[in-house]
Amino acid sequence: MPLDPQQKAILDAMASRRADPNATPQQRRDAMKSMPRAKGPAVYQTTDRIIAGPVGSIPIRIYTPPGTGPFPALVWFHGGGWVVGDLEMADGTARQLCANADCIVVSVDYHLAPEYKFPIPAEDCYAATAWAHKSAALFNIDPNRIAVGGDSAGSNLAAAVTLMAKDRGGPKLAFQLLVYPVTDHNYGTKSYQENATYGLNKDSMVWFWDLYLAKPADGKNPYASPLQAKDLKGLPPALVITGEFDPLRDEGNEYAKRLQAAGVKTVNTTYPGVAHGFFGQWSVMDKAKQAVAQASKELKEAFSRQPAGVR
């Protein structure tokens, strides 16, 4: 179908703010911080903490809904190509998911590339997930109902965490929410060819991947490219959301197919007429509101399938 009119308006407005291809990672981070963001709904409480990580401290922000708990929890990893992004960029979406899914959200400010290359961001995210499980009682989290999720590079990290948890014997995860995930170090898909003019494109993904990977061979590592994993059996149920006009559409949909073929309960939705980044545009786009509502519904249903309070 044609580009959604609301999506077109957003892309037109963003055209004048496109990243300078010669900008440094820090300049791109500064530009991202200067962009206006919609504030999400109020939640009962937010708490900023610092936790220990493999290479140093990791800031996190904990969003708590009203109620008595113990609450299910979503550990959320922001997008930004592993290079940009922070807790503030993720704040509105974290609030949306906390309020709409009635769950605690633990937003993770993992170390960024190129200062910290693969596998450090993925290891940070695994460490934060393990911390949420271990510290569940301190924050009124039900340790048997913990999910992971993220958008773009953040959902790449979420998928990596599910593989790590499987390989390392835990923690047991209830769900994975993958929003237009990066799943493969590969630019040869049809969606890369078709969607070169809607914001994210091959050149930007090459830039991100080159800064993230310590060496080219890392692109074949399943913790960097989950689609390269030989065995996806036993992973938690998933929702995979993609956009019709996103270069990452095909690799996200292919990962969903691989999960389904491995017997993993997986819902795969491609939203028509939208481009990369649409999920975070819920304040101005109806399809983004629909996607957030779907994500919240699937999270609640996944949490309801787990027996509460079992360690």
Nearest CA among 174, 158, 155, 139 for reference residue 61 = 139
| 152 is known as an active-site residue | yes
Report the relative pairing of strands 56-64 and 104-108 from DSSP bridges: antiparallel
CB contact at 8 A, 92 and 38: yes
Which of the following is catalytic: 111, 133, 151, 152?
152
310 lies in some domain = no
Which of helix, strand or coil describes residue 150? strand
Which of the following is catalytic: 86, 124, 142, 246?
246
| 246 is known as an active-site residue | yes
211 lies in some domain = yes
212 lies in some domain = yes
pLDDT for res 101: 98
pLDDT for res 310: 44
How many structural domains does the chain have?
1
Average pLDDT, the chain: 95
CB contact at 8 A, 120 and 55: yes
**Could you read off the pLDDT tens digit of each residue along the chain, which spans 311 residues?**
799 999 999 999 887 666 677 899 999 999 888 888 889 999 999 999 999 999 999 999 999 999 999 999 999 999 999 999 999 999 999 999 999 999 999 999 999 999 999 999 999 999 999 999 999 999 999 999 999 999 999 999 999 999 999 999 999 999 999 999 999 999 999 999 999 888 899 999 999 999 999 999 999 999 999 999 999 999 999 999 999 999 999 999 999 999 999 999 999 999 999 999 999 999 999 999 999 999 999 999 999 998 765 43
Q: 53: which 2 tokens?
A: 């990580």
- Other Cβ atoms within 10 Å of 214 Cβ, number: 15
Q: Tell me how long the chain is.
A: 311
Please name the residues in contact with 30: beta carbons below 8 A apart, sequence gap of 6 or more.
Answer: none
161 lies in some domain = yes
119-161: per-residue pLDDT in tens? 999 999 999 999 999 999 999 999 999 999 999 999 999 999 9
Full domain range(s) for residue 273:
5-15+22-304
Q: Calculate the alpha carbon distances from 19 to 15, 84, 115, 128, 306 in Å.
A: 9, 12, 20, 30, 43
| 286 is known as an active-site residue | no
Which of the following is catalytic: 91, 111, 276, 296?
276
CATH number of the domain within which 65 lies:
3.40.50.1820
149 lies in some domain = yes
Nearest CA among 105, 103, 151 for reference residue 128 = 105
257 lies in some domain = yes
pLDDT for res 220: 98
Crossing angle of helices 120-134/153-168, nearest 10°? Answer: 60
311 lies in some domain = no
Which of helix, strand or coil describes residue 275? strand
37 lies in some domain = yes
The pTM for the full model equals 0.97
